[in-house]
Structure 1
Amino acid sequence: MTALVEVSGLAKVFDVSAPWLNRVLERKARQFVHAVDGVSFKIEKGKTLALVGESGCGKSTVARLLVGLYGPTRGTVRFDGQDTQTMLSTPAGRTLHRRMQMIFQDPYASLNPRWKVRDIVGEPLREHGLVPDDEALKKQVGELLSSVGLAPGDMEKFPHQFSGGQRQRISIARALATQPEFLVCDEPTSALDVSVQAQVLNIMKDLQRQRGLTYLFISHNLAVVRHVSDNVGVMYLGRLVELADKATLFSNPRHPYTRMLLDAIPDIAMTGRARTPVQGEVPNPLNPPSGCAFHPRCPHANARCSAERPELTSFKGIQVACHAVTEGRI
């Protein structure tokens, strides 16, 4: 299978310094956050890669870098073999925007409360010149709403007349308006009730089968990831620490952080397996630990872990960044 999306050495640094005068008076240096720090992965056509990790690990920043909402500090994103940064600054950038869309996390904040659903879902159609007149726009919006389980008549309503799950369906309909091939889903179900989450996820899976969509799915909910993904990347403090197919990652996690995340899932079957509770806190990204960023919380860390940062390397069919794993200590 050919990769539709190829990310190589992607990094984003944010300047979070205090204003210049404050820095001079308080004699403080400038401060930078390495939100994403050298991330690389591929997503094959029609497949789903899920990125998981605790809050603040850089998942949403990766999502925004992929669709061009942020420009990368370094590294490249290639879509269908072409560099997206180069394309976005050319007339072909409009076509690229049409082929990749994003579903945002909060269905209450991502829809304009003053617009009717017809205008919200129809905006991309108008913007990209995909409909000749209002009649065609209404017809197209009606079909899009039907495809996500809403009634065509709902287009005359405002967002406040819908529940959270229905609003997220409107967001999905809007994202599908330009018939994209690649959807970046930034925690699309985290603001919803569990029963509604299942409905939205099932709609997304059905749409993937019908349209051959490729997904990057951002989540911190491993149960959701297990339901939707083909491959899983685990992020910690801006870097990928493990990348494997779903079955391997859930049955035989390698990295101590991945194990810690999986151990935090309630064991409903009560198998009696040994469990390690999640230790410690995520370090301050303004002052990350030396060496492996996970070493202060890792039960297998040694002197090398605190001094030398591990690279993501292939190991027994997966990719992992851990000295303890590659040295055979765990």
Structure 2
Amino acid sequence: MTALVEVKGLSKVFDVSAPWLNRVVEGKPRQFVHAVDGVSFEIERGKTLALVGESGCGKSTVARLLVGLYGPTAGEVRFDGEDTAAVLKSPRARALRKRMQMIFQDPYASLNPRWRVRDIVGEPLREHGLISDAGGIEDKVADLLQSVGLAAADVQKFPHQFSGGQRQRISIARALATQPEFLVCDEPTSALDVSVQAQVLNIMKDLQRERGLTYLFISHNLAVVRHVADEVGVMYLGRLVEQAPKRQLFEAPRHPYTRMLLDAIPDIQMTGRARTPVQGEVPNPLNPPTGCAFHPRCPHANARCSSERPELRTIGGIRVSCHAVEEGRL
């Protein structure tokens, strides 16, 4: 199958320097953060790729780069064979935006509290000129709400009249309004209770099956990822360190960081397997370690790891960036 989304060498650098006058007076240099550093992956049509990693590893920046909220510093994002950065600067930008939508992390912040649900979910319909008359928009919004498990009568309500899980369903209905092919989901359930998370995830899986949707799913919760993903990519300090089909990644993780993340999940089955919780802290992104960024926390690190940055290579059907795996030390 051909990939719907192709990401090649994607990088994003943010200038986080102090203001010019402060730098002159205090003699400080300019500072840059490599939020995303040479990330490459593909997502097949109708499949879900999940990106996981600790806070600050660049997952949400990747999400924003894919939908064009940020412009890349280097590399490219191709959607259905076309460079999205070029299309978004052309007259065809609106047609592309219609085909890809985003669900944001916080359902309390992503909905306008002064608008009724009819206006929130109906905005993409008006913006893209899909439906112009008020009655048609209200009928379509009612249909969209019912598709995510809400009542048609909810079109008249305001966001404050809903729970967190219901608000996230409204966000999903809004994202589906333009009938997109690709949804970027930036931790869509992290602000919700566990029982509500399951309901929202099941709705998303059902919608994917019915509409053939393609998802990029951003999360730090591996239990959620296990439920929704086909492929899993593990990020660390702006780089992709491992990518594998879900079953392979959970049953036989290769990268030491992936192993540490999986070992941190509570062992409900009481298997008695030896476990190593995640050690140490994520390094300061303003001053990342030399060589492999994970080497200060890695139990298998040697001199090569601290001096030479590993490349992402395909080893046994899994893409992994680790000298220890490459040399057979793991």
Q: TM-score range by the shorter chain?
A: over 0.9
Partner of 1:126: 126
Partner of 1:215: 215
Q: Which amino acid aligns with 1:10?
A: L
Partner of 1:79: 79
Partner of 2:258: 258
Q: Tell me how far apart the structure 1 counterparts of residues 132 and 193 of structure 2 sit (CA, whole Å).
A: 39
RMSD: 0.4
Partner of 1:61: 61
Partner of 1:166: 166
Partner of 2:115: 115
Question: Could you list the per-position Cα deviations for residues 264-320 of structure 1 after superposition, in whole angstroms to 9, with x for gaps in the alignment?
Answer: 000000000010111100000000000000000000000000000001000001000
Partner of 1:141: 141
Runs of 4+ in 1 over 4 A off after TM superposition: none
Q: Tell me how far apart the structure 2 counterparts of residues 57 and 213 of structure 1 sit (CA, whole Å).
A: 26
Residues 58-67 or 126-135, more deviating? 126-135
Q: Tell me how far apart the structure 2 counterparts of residues 277 and 74 of structure 1 sit (CA, whole Å).
A: 35
Shift of 1:228: 0.1
Partner of 1:187: 187
Partner of 1:199: 199
Partner of 1:18: 18
* Residue segments in structure 2 that go unaligned for 5+ positions in a row: none
- SS state at 2:118 partner: helix
Partner of 2:272: 272
Shift of 1:36: 0.1
- SS state at 2:102 partner: strand
Q: Tell me how far apart the structure 1 counterparts of residues 91 and 145 of structure 2 sit (CA, whole Å).
A: 30
Q: Tell me how far apart the structure 1 counterparts of residues 25 and 142 of structure 2 sit (CA, whole Å).
A: 59
Q: Tell me how far apart the structure 2 counterparts of residues 273 and 112 of structure 1 sit (CA, whole Å).
A: 48
* TM-score between both structures, scaled by the size of structure 1: 1.00
Q: Tell me how far apart the structure 2 counterparts of residues 34 and 186 of structure 1 sit (CA, whole Å).
A: 20
Shift of 1:135: 1.0
Instruction: Say how many residue pairs are matched.
Output: 330
Shift of 1:132: 3.0
Q: Which amino acid aligns with 2:163?
A: S
Partner of 1:318: 318
Q: Tell me how far apart the structure 1 counterparts of residues 232 and 132 of structure 2 sit (CA, whole Å).
A: 41
Q: Tell me how far apart the structure 2 counterparts of residues 52 and 327 of structure 1 sit (CA, whole Å).
A: 25
Question: Could you list the per-position Cα deviations for residues 88-108 of structure 1 after superposition, in whole angstroms to 9, with x for gaps in the alignment?
Answer: 011111010000000000000
Q: Tell me how far apart the structure 2 counterparts of residues 91 and 111 of structure 1 sit (CA, whole Å).
A: 28
Q: Tell me how far apart the structure 1 counterparts of residues 176 and 92 of structure 2 sit (CA, whole Å).
A: 19
- SS state at 1:250 partner: helix
Shift of 1:2: 1.0
Q: Which amino acid aligns with 2:184?
A: V
Partner of 1:44: 44
Q: Tell me how far apart the structure 2 counterparts of residues 20 and 86 of structure 1 sit (CA, whole Å).
A: 32
Q: Tell me how far apart the structure 2 counterparts of residues 307 and 21 of structure 1 sit (CA, whole Å).
A: 36
Q: Tell me how far apart the structure 2 counterparts of residues 85 and 277 of structure 1 sit (CA, whole Å).
A: 40
Q: Which amino acid aligns with 1:130?
A: L
Q: Which amino acid aligns with 1:269?
A: Q
Q: Which amino acid aligns with 1:180?
A: P
Q: Tell me how far apart the structure 2 counterparts of residues 58 and 326 of structure 1 sit (CA, whole Å).
A: 25
Question: Could you list the per-position Cα deviations for residues 150-193 of structure 1 after superposition, in whole angstroms to 9, with x for gaps in the alignment?
Answer: 00110100000000000000000000000000000000000000
Q: Which amino acid aligns with 1:298?
A: C
- SS state at 2:6 partner: strand
Partner of 1:91: 91
Shift of 1:145: 0.2
Q: Tell me how far apart the structure 2 counterparts of residues 196 and 226 of structure 1 sit (CA, whole Å).
A: 17
Q: Tell me how far apart the structure 1 counterparts of residues 66 and 329 of structure 2 sit (CA, whole Å).
A: 36
Partner of 2:9: 9
Q: Which amino acid aligns with 2:74?
A: R
Q: Tell me how far apart the structure 2 counterparts of residues 135 and 156 of structure 1 sit (CA, whole Å).
A: 13
Question: Could you list the per-position Cα deviations for residues 48-80 of structure 1 after superposition, in whole angstroms to 9, with x for gaps in the alignment?
Answer: 000000000000000000000000000000000
Q: Tell me how far apart the structure 1 counterparts of residues 110 and 134 of structure 2 sit (CA, whole Å).
A: 24
- SS state at 2:37 partner: strand
